[in-house]
């Protein structure tokens, strides 16, 4: 029985054909039947190479085009699987992280992953999911973004191997490449005559990304229209060079995956496959990413380890099980244990803590996780000891916007003298009022007597710092020299 699935121009409508006959129409219907089909197949194919069982975790949403062959192909031996990332910003974000985690699952199942950086395609700009034309990027900007993304990808794959891979077997090598390497010497005539001739206008025009833009008042440039040809050629190139059979991408990439499938099929006669991962959305339902301007970044310069940790720590209880399945590599039985513990006392946020810990370890390694934990401790627990665990840079990052003053510690220096030098209180009566009302804190402890002489370990921490807070959120840091 040959079964195939097709998505029409709308995002939500599927048509499923069996032996050429329309079997069913609709959205959840097809996805649900795919899910049960894969779970059933899992029992028939012994190897865990059949990554489609990951639909249990919700990490794979749809497959294109042929639902019957892929489990067999995956179980038959290691396959090359790729996912592309356009360097249109200098960092990836947690939406992209889901695609990286999908690649990690492939690698853990013994397949050969390729993370492709779109150094060439970023210059054109993918219209998928965009309602307006992208602002063109300078080639030098794309190049430096690509370098930064490459090092994040390397870091994540290294962290995974170091902290998450416990088996004796060697993980297959991750290949990180840039499509600029095959486009830089590409001859435009050869490309159009080769790739352009293979693809039919009707299908290219039917893609959702094209339809939406053609219907808009701004229309669509030929450059953006041509984007799908380049992504399709990448698939063909990786198929030729590495025998790549599978491309992963978010749901917004389905049209590009279909064009890739069509090109490879026409040129080689072989079927290749697209596996679609769900889109991570914000609480308002928008795709998390660059375009929506709501990205949570994985480069520390853009989103600190503490903020990344806090992002996951603050997610609502209702999302926990789903997010643990998507964003961690914990086995499902461990996730069930975490959820059981969490449900007993949700206010302890055990599920959020586990989720945040696992993401931090993957993205920033042990050092980043440790920093985020110490900073969280200092932020929410008021003991001076928690502040002492932080160095200069960490404390300054934690209390962003705090005024930093360097002071020389002289014998007999009092709290009042320090407050005066730091200029954290208004002069005269107003300042005295704040003090006597208990509005000044030193190292998280309320000041009751400002005439006291500063004492090491109480007022001056072992790290040579004093943290002053005036009112609810005005912070001042003293660095003693
Ligand atoms: N929020 C998200 N959830 C899941 N996957 C995502 C998300 N955002 C991006 N991806 C996937 O990551 C891969 C790389 O995407 P890309 O680098 O273009 O990021 P992007 O945020 O979608 O960019 P832009 O907003 O500029 O379109 C694609 O497969 C894309 O579908
Ligand atoms: N078009 C993808 C990135 C990508 C680039 C090249 C590829 O071959 C594949 C994917 C995106 O914007 O999300």
The model's pLDDT over 240-260, given as tens digits with 9 standing for 90+, comes to 999 999 999 999 999 999 999
Query: What pLDDT shows up at residue 380?
Result: 73
- Name every protein residue with a CB atom under 6 angstroms from any ligand 2 atom: 84-86, 116, 118, 121, 126, 179, 231, 234, 253, 256
Query: What pLDDT shows up at residue 134?
Result: 87
- pTM of the predicted model over 0.90: no
Strand 112-117 with 80-85, pairing? parallel
**422 touches ligand 1 (CB under 6 Å):** no
**53 touches ligand 1 (CB under 6 Å):** no
Query: What pLDDT shows up at residue 297?
Result: 97
**pLDDT tens across 81-130, in order?**
999 999 999 999 999 999 999 999 999 999 999 999 999 999 999 999 88
**pLDDT tens across 143-183, in order?**
999 999 999 999 999 999 999 999 989 999 999 999 999 99
Cα separation, 215 vs 81, in Å, equals 34
Query: What pLDDT shows up at residue 473?
Result: 80
Q: Where are the alpha helices (DSSP H) in 192-344?
A: 197-198, 201-206, 208-215, 222-225, 227-242, 254-268, 305-313, 320-327, 332-344
**442 touches ligand 1 (CB under 6 Å):** no
Q: Which residues have C-beta within 8 Å of that of residue 100, sequence separation ≥ 6?
A: 83, 92, 115, 153, 156
Query: What pLDDT shows up at residue 34?
Result: 41
User: Two tokens at 17?
Assistant: 């054909």
Percentage above 70 pLDDT, the chain: 89
Distance in Å, CA 35 to ligand 2 centroid: 26
What's the ipTM? 0.93
HSE-up of residue 182 (Cα within 13 Å, Cβ side) = 19
**98 touches ligand 1 (CB under 6 Å):** yes
Distance in Å, CA 146 to ligand 2 centroid: 13
Distance in Å, CA 469 to ligand 1 centroid: 41
Residue closest by Cα to atom 12 of ligand 1: 96
**pLDDT tens across 397-442, in order?**
888 778 889 999 888 999 999 999 999 999 889 999 999 999 999 9
Distance in Å, CA 84 to ligand 2 centroid: 4
Distance from chain centroid for Cα 401? 27
Distance from chain centroid for Cα 335? 20
Ligand nearest the Cα atom of residue 178: 2
Percentage above 90 pLDDT, the chain: 69
Residues 211-224, mean pLDDT to the nearest whole number: 93
Query: What pLDDT shows up at residue 231?
Result: 98
Query: What pLDDT shows up at residue 102?
Result: 97
Distance in Å, CA 339 to ligand 2 centroid: 35
Distance in Å, CA 209 to ligand 1 centroid: 14
Cα separation, 321 vs 280, in Å, equals 14
Residue closest by Cα to atom 4 of ligand 2: 84
Atom number, ligand 2, closest to the C-alpha of residue 252: 13
Distance in Å, CA 289 to ligand 2 centroid: 14
Atom number, ligand 1, closest to the C-alpha of residue 295: 21
Among 352-356, 372-376, 403-407, the range with the most confident prediction by mean pLDDT is: 352-356
Distance in Å, CA 149 to ligand 1 centroid: 13
Cα separation, 71 vs 85, in Å, equals 26
Atom number, ligand 2, closest to the C-alpha of residue 256: 1
């Amino acid at each position: 029985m040959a079964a195939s699935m097709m998505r029409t121009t709308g995002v939500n409508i599927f048509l499923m054909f069996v032996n050429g006959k329309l079997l069913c129409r609709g959205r959840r219907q097809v996805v649900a039947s795919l899910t049960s089909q894969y779970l059933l197949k899992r029992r028939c194919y012994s190897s865990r190479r059949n990554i489609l069982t990951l639909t249990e975790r919700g990490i794979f949403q749809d497959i294109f085009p042929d639902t019957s062959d892929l489990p067999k192909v995956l179980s038959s031996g290691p396959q090359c699987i790729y996912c592309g990332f356009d360097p249109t910003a200098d960092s990836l974000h947690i939406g992209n992280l889901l695609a990286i985690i999908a690649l990690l699952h492939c690698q853990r199942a013994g397949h050969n992953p390729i993370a492709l950086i779109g150094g060439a395609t970023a210059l054109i700009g993918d219209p998928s999911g965009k309602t307006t034309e992208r602002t063109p990027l300078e080639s030098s900007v794309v190049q430096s973004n690509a370098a930064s993304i490459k090092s994040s990808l390397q870091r994540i794959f290294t962290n995974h191997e170091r902290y998450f891979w416990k088996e004796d077997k060697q993980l297959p090598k991750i290949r990180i490449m840039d499509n600029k390497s095959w486009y830089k010497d590409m001859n435009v005539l050869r490309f159009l005559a080769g790739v352009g001739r293979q693809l039919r206008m009707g299908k290219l025009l039917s893609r959702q990304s094209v339809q939406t833009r053609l219907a808009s008042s701004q229309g669509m440039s030929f450059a953006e229209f041509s984007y799908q040809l380049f992504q399709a050629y990448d698939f063909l190139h990786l198929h030729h060079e590495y025998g790549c059979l599978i491309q992963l991408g978010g749901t917004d990439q389905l049209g590009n995956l279909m064009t890739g499938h069509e090109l490879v099929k026409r040129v080689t006669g072989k079927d290749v496959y697209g596996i679609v991962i769900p889109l991570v959305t914000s609480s308002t339902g928008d795709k998390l990413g660059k375009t929506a301007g709501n990205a949570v970044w994985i480069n520390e310069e853009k989103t600190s380890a503490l903020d990344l940790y806090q992002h996951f720590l603050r997610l609502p209880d209702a999302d926990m099980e789903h997010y643990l399945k998507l964003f961690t590599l914990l086995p499902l039985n461990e996730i069930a244990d975490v959820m059981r513990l969490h449900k007993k006392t949700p206010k302890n946020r055990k599920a959020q803590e586990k989720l945040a810990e696992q993401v931090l370890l993957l993205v920033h390694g042990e050092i980043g996780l440790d920093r985020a934990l110490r900073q969280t401790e200092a932020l929410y627990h008021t003991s001076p000891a928690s502040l002492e665990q932080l160095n200069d840079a960490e404390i300054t990052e934690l209390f962003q916007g705090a005024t930093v003053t360097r002071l020389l510690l002289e014998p007999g220096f009092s709290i009042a003298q320090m407050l005066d030098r730091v200029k954290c209180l208004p002069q005269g009566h107003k300042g005295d009022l704040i003090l006597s009302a208990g509005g000044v804190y030193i190292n998280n402890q309320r000041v009751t007597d400002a005439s006291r002489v500063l004492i090491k370990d109480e007022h001056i921490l072992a790290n040579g710092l004093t943290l002053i807070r005036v009112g609810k959120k005005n912070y001042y840091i003293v660095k003693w020299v």
